[in-house]
Amino acid sequence: MADSATSVRPVTAPEIAARKGSGTPIVMITAYDAPTARVVADAGADVILVGDSVANVVLGYDDTLQVTVDDMVHHVAAVARTRPRPLVVGDMPWLSYHVSVPDTVQNAARLVRVGAGAVKLEGGRKRLDHVRAIIDAEIPVMGHLGLTPQSVHALGGFKVQGRDLEAARAIVDDAVALADAGCFAIVLECVPDAVARLVTDSIAVPTIGIGAGRHCDGQVLVFHDVLGLEDRTTPKFVRRYAELGTDARTALAAFAADVRQGRFPSSDETYHAADTVADEIARYGQTSAGADPVADAPRSGGGEPRSVGAGHSA
Ligand code: KIV
């Protein structure tokens, strides 16, 4: 069932494009399922990116190359089912836009059909034909330049990009080409801030940075990084606003200890039959076990079954 926020009009790609120069930076945060989407939407983000980083932070892979269109459809659909106010951008996974142009458009359409309002793909001039074809099919495209994790092998690892003049100029030229092709925004990942500034000043659509410094029109971080759920590695550009991984381990260890020490569940966390019924049940059990039906009957309070939380019924 759709969330209660169904009446909220979602942010659109043209609205994000129009934020260029507004003075209020765009906030984009990743999410991969319904609960994370609700948290990101409630926090007031402008854009939810269903990133292929799902590979690393949710699915346990070491890189994003393992993620398929089917995987992305599954996660975009889960996010979109919450009908969030932020624009939902679905990441196109590796090889979904590298082969034929018709297949590229069909793959983008699959993400839109399950609720994405736009798609994102990595690469610049090399991918222009594919970018144009998706835009031609009326699907807004967000570009992604700098460190493009799907090119990890070609780049020789996860490294800062655009460190020399030639590489910096190539990123600017790619950004100009993507903007000219009609991309509504461009992610800049792991580039020096001087490069991000030049790109931002060179194009008429917003740049959204991650590890690209402050001279961008917006910022994006990965949900699990911001909240300390992915705490195995912390890139330089991540600021952690919570330590949910630590909090979760502490909470679950407390639960385990309570179970092992007999402290969970308490009487309040237990359904009780009415006294008379409890007596009958006890008598029945003891009769069938050959014991005294009355003497050993436990006394228990009554109680109606109660709802134990959203989506659970007694
Ligand atoms: O997949 C992702 O999360 C991304 C961001 C790092 C921009 O592409």
pLDDT above 80: residue 268: yes
Ligand 1 atom with the smallest distance to the CA of 54 is 1
Ligand 1 atom with the smallest distance to the CA of 30 is 3
H/E run at residue 152: helix 152-155
By most ligand atoms within 8 Å of CB, the mutation choice from 161, 222, 226 for ligand 1 is: 222
List 15, 122, 138, 189, catalytic entry = 189
How far, in Å, is the centroid of ligand 1 from the Cα of 122? 10
Does 93 sit behind a cis peptide bond, omega within 30 degrees of 0 on the bond before it? Answer: no
pLDDT above 70: residue 285: yes
- In this prediction the pTM is 0.90
How far, in Å, is the centroid of ligand 1 from the Cα of 146? 12
Does residue 187's CB lie within 6 angstroms of at least one atom of ligand 1? yes
CB atoms within 10 A of CB 187: 27
pLDDT above 50: residue 4: no
d(CA 199, CA 189): 12
pLDDT tens-place string over residues 151-174: 999 999 999 999 999 999 999 999
Does residue 171's CB lie within 6 angstroms of at least one atom of ligand 1? no
How far, in Å, is the centroid of ligand 1 from the Cα of 52? 6
Does residue 210's CB lie within 6 angstroms of at least one atom of ligand 1? yes
Judged by average pLDDT, the poorest of 54-58, 226-230, 310-314 is 310-314
Residues in the chain: 314
4-226 in CATH: which number?
3.20.20.60
